[in-house]
Amino acid sequence: MSSQTINLTLKVWRQNKNNPRGALETYPANNISTDMSFLEMLDVVNEELTAEGVEPIAFDHDCREGICGMCGAVVNGRAHGHMPETTLCQLHMRHFNDGDTIVIEPWRARAFPVVKDLVADSSGLDKIIQAGGYISINAGGPQDGNAIPIARDNAEKAFNAATCIGCGACVAACPNASAMLFTGAKISHLALLPQGKPEAKNRALAMVRAMDELGFGNCSNEAECEAECPKGISIREIARMNREFIKAAFS
Amino acid sequence: MNWFVQNISTAVGKKLLMAITGLGFLGFIAVHLAGNITFYFGKDAFLHYVETLHALGPVIVIVELVLLALAVIHVSTGTVLFTRNWQARKTRYAVDKSAGGRTIGSRTMPYTGFLILLFVILHLCQFHFIDRTQQTPYDAAVNTFSNIFYALIYIGAVILVGIHIRHGFWSLFQSLGLNHEKYMPAIRAVGIAFAIAAAVGFAFIPIYIRAVT
């Protein structure tokens, strides 16, 4: 496939300590190769802004291959852009047309305060993990890997839930800024495995309570999260969390 | 009871409250619709149904009190969720597009809910808190729906009920943790059928009454 270049107009959220309320600023993005990723496009724009003496656009990124969960922005009203099951770094400019105007905003949630421009502080998700998203083991001689039988179906389901990279797109896409898909995935992947069973009850209660205390909204089953999740995690994980919560709360 | 209050007031606990009370209302709507179908068999059939219902005596009082309790829980929890969810995103998106998860029902849930509450109050005033020695419930219906304004309000309100059920039905199963890839398509289909049956079944009563009187 031959490479093309396209010209775009960006409307980017700019917010910093001198501009705490923030606003959308318009920048041209010219001669953008359609082979570039969205983040590479922002790199090019930032080089031009720097040359012009304008503060470059701050955005989070790390691995740039869709596995670290650092990048993410709302592009034209869609978390990680309009392509299914991709992170922002996996979104390619070939999915945009010459002359398009692209509005880029940070994740918006009370629990995700904007640090600068497109960088939102999603460490609330880490605090949910700290509340119970782990298993406690007494270290000792290593056990045989196959000593604990695990049904293949459960292993697959646990793995599917564990593909969550904690990017925060579910919160950003949720009309209520709820973190239930994230929390559901984290509770599910441990609850499905024998190693997670001993602490399942406390985990479900502690993680759900942490989610509330951090100021996330309440799930109303809009299902926008599963449609935007770059890992295709299903709201069935939320249902499983609800089951785990019911088991923990009323028994 | 402290543990109970603590657990039920979490985000998942509030979901369960909405789901269980919503399930109660679905049961009520099914019975109410079944009873109202007697309308299509004429005045005697309808009044016979009303008499049979009222002959239940204390059972009816208990059911009414339970429904009142369900309404208080459903409306108050829903109001809390509505305000909390609004506060959970202080700055709104300049561009906000759906990824395809939302439906007309899920988008409008709080709004259809509040409008249905207003409708229920109006409906109770016109059919429940009336002097039944002065007019039979059949006459009350005929008198009310002879006014085109009320007929249209009732038709509009039951369409809102249908839209509310369209999201509420499958949603309550999801909230109770009952989402399995084998059963969810059937639950969603039954929910849509229930929503249509409720909206159409109730909406045709004022139309039928205006047609025959």
Express each pLDDT in A45-95 by its tens digit. Answer: 999 999 999 999 999 999 999 999 999 999 999 999 999 999 999 999 999
pLDDT band at A137 (very low <50, low <70, confident <90, very high): confident
Model confidence pLDDT, tens digit, residues A21-45: 999 999 999 999 999 999 999 999 9
Quote the CA–CA distance of B4 and B8 in Å, as a whole number: 6
Chain A: residue nearest B89 by CA? A109
Chain B: residue nearest A229 by CA? B99
Interchain CB distance below 8 Å, B11 and A178: yes
Interface of B with A in 32-71 (CB under 8 A): none
Q: What is the pTM of this model?
A: 0.95
A180, A242, A246, best to mutate vs chain B, most B CBs in 10 Å: A242
Question: Residue B192: what pLDDT?
Answer: 97
User: Which residues from B are below 8 Å from A209, CB to CB?
Assistant: 10
pLDDT band at B4 (very low <50, low <70, confident <90, very high): very high
Q: How is chain A split into domains, by residue range?
A: 5-116, 123-136+149-249
Which of B12, B87, B177 is closest, CB to CB, to A110? B87
Q: For residue A33, give how far its alpha carbon lies from the nearest alpha carbon of chain B (Å).
A: 25
Interface of B with A in 171-190 (CB under 8 A): 171, 174-181, 184
Question: Residue B131: what pLDDT?
Answer: 85
Interface residue B89 vs chain A (CB under 8 A):
yes
Which of B8, B167, B177 is closest, CB to CB, to A243? B177
Both structure tokens of B10: 């979490």
Average pLDDT over residues B179-200: 97
Average pLDDT over residues B130-148: 90
Question: Does the pLDDT value for residue B26 go beyond 60?
Answer: yes
| Distance in Å from the first CA to the final CA of chain A | 60
Protein fold of A123-136+149-249: Fumarate Reductase Iron-sulfur Protein; Chain B, domain 2 (1.10.1060)
Question: Does the pLDDT value for residue A1 go beyond 60?
Answer: no
What is the 3 state secondary structure string of chain B? CHHHHHHHCCHHHHHHHHHHHHHHHHHHHHHHHHHHHHHHHCHHHHHHHHHHHHCCCHHHHHHHHHHHHHHHHHHHHHHHHHHHHHHCCCCCCCCCCCCCCCCHHHHCHHHHHHHHHHHHHHHHHHHCCCCCCCCCHHHHHHHHHCCHHHHHHHHHHHHHHHHHHHHHHHHHHHHCCCCCCCCHHHHHHHHHHHHHHHHHHHHHHHHHHHHHC
Q: How many CB pairs under 8 A join A and B?
A: 136
Quote the CA–CA distance of B49 and B35 in Å, as a whole number: 7
Q: How far is CA B206 from CA B82, B126, B132, B200, in A?
A: 32, 14, 20, 11
Question: Does the pLDDT value for residue A241 go beyond 70?
Answer: yes
Model confidence pLDDT, tens digit, residues B59-70: 999 999 999 999
Quote the CA–CA distance of A70 and A81 in Å, as a whole number: 15
Q: Does 3.40.50.720 match the CATH number of domain A5-116?
A: no
Question: Residue B1: what pLDDT?
Answer: 67
Question: Residue B134: what pLDDT?
Answer: 84
Q: How is chain B split into domains, by residue range?
A: 2-89+104-212
Interchain CB distance below 8 Å, B99 and A111: no
Interface of B with A in 98-137 (CB under 8 A): 98-102, 106-107, 109
User: Which residues from B are below 8 Å from A223, CB to CB?
Assistant: 101-102, 106
Q: Angle at which helices B43-54 and B137-145 pack, to 10 degrees?
A: 130
Question: Residue A251: what pLDDT?
Answer: 85
Chain B: residue nearest A21 by CA? B91
Model confidence pLDDT, tens digit, residues A206-232: 999 999 999 999 999 999 999 999 999
Question: Residue A215: what pLDDT?
Answer: 96
User: Which residues from B are below 8 Å from A226, CB to CB?
Assistant: 101
Chain B: residue nearest A76 by CA? B95
pLDDT band at B186 (very low <50, low <70, confident <90, very high): very high
C-alpha B87 chain-centroid distance: 26
Question: Residue A2: what pLDDT?
Answer: 66
Nearest in space to B12 (alpha carbons), one of A248, A28, A25: A248
Which of B88, B167, B174 is closest, CB to CB, to A235? B174
Which segment of A111-120, A135-144, A235-244, B184-193 scores lowest on mean pLDDT?
A: A135-144
Q: Is the ipTM of this complex over 0.90?
A: yes
User: Which residues from A are below 8 Å from B1, CB to CB?
Assistant: none
